[in-house]
């Protein structure tokens, strides 16, 4: 089922609209969203995204998406293949598990492994996203995790990794890595423990 979210209607949110209810708790004012180390309203973030010329654009990655007065299950359904074996439901307090992710072209996430031994799925609503995947214990060139995986040293920007380390990685890890491009309507699945990088090829929104 499609979520009616686009850059245009994020930029023109009005209180009481169906989109505004996704970002307002208890029917109140629209909450700021987590944009890396900053907080911005959806309108502020879109204004930044369309004007910025950063080599590494700030990425909107908000974990409280859907914790509002609106029942998100009325907006989209979890694909059945991913709706099984949800062991977090047995915990008294469930870890963060649902995000809205948005950013301009060149924005994205550098190589990392998702926390809590989880699998993940990412549905592209608008735009186009490039993904690279490598199996557990096989970080790509230029990525240096600490022994306990608590810290990961990577190039400062996604473009820097692609320019300096993509080709050496292809040459040395061709048989273990995967790469794909997701368009609007496509879903990427990230297995537990896998290293992955994602970069927006266009302005993109995903859940």
* pLDDT at residue 125 is higher than 90: no
* 136: Cα separation from own chain's centroid: 20
Evaluate if residue 3 carries a pLDDT over 60.
Answer: no
pLDDT in tens, 145-197: 999 888 999 998 999 999 999 999 999 999 999 999 999 989 999 999 999 99
Task: From 137, 1, 17, 183, select the one nearest 75 (Cα to Cα).
Answer: 1
Phi and psi, residue 108, nearest 5°: 160, -160
Q: Which of 80-89, 123-132, 156-165 has the lowest mean pLDDT?
A: 80-89
The pLDDT value recorded for residue 178 is 96
Q: What integer pLDDT is reported at residue 45 of this predicted model? A: 85
pLDDT, residue 23, reads 58
Mean pLDDT along residues 106-125: 91
pLDDT of amino acid 1: 45
Q: State which of 32-36, 86-90, 94-98, 179-183 shows the largest mean pLDDT.
A: 179-183
Q: What is the pLDDT of residues 14-67, one digit of tens each?
A: 444 545 555 555 556 667 888 998 898 878 888 888 888 998 999 999 888 766
What pLDDT score does 20 carry?
A: 53
Rounded to two decimals, the pTM is: 0.83
Q: Between 13 and 64, where is the model more confident?
A: 64
Task: Give the pLDDT confidence score for residue 24 in this predicted structure.
Answer: 58
Task: Quote the CA–CA distance of 19 and 169 in Å, as a whole number.
Answer: 41
Summarised one tens digit per residue, pLDDT across range 132-149 is 999 999 999 999 999 988
């Amino acid at each position: 089922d499609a979520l009616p979210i686009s850059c245009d209607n994020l930029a023109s949110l009005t209180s009481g609209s169906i989109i505004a209810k996704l970002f307002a708790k208890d029917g109140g004012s629209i909450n700021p969203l987590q944009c890396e180390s900053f907080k911005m309203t959806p309108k502020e973030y879109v204004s930044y995204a369309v004007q910025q010329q950063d080599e590494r654009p700030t990425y909107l990655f908000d974990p409280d998406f859907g914790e509002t007065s609106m029942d998100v299950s009325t907006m989209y359904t979890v694909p059945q293949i991913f709706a099984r074996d949800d062991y977090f439901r047995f915990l008294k307090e469930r870890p963060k598990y649902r995000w809205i992710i948005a950013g301009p072209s060149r924005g994205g996430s550098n190589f990392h492994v998702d926390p809590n031994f989880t699998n993940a799925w990412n549905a592209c609503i608008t735009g186009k996203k490039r993904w690279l995947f490598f199996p557990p214990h096989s970080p790509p060139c230029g990525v240096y995790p600490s022994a306990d995986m608590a810290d990961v040293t990577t190039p400062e920007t996604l473009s820097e990794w692609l320019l300096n380390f993509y080709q050496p990685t292809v040459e040395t890890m061709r048989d273990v890595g995967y790469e794909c491009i997701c368009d609007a309507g496509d879903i990427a699945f990230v297995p537990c423990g896998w290293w992955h990088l994602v970069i927006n090829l266009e302005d993109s929104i995903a859940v």
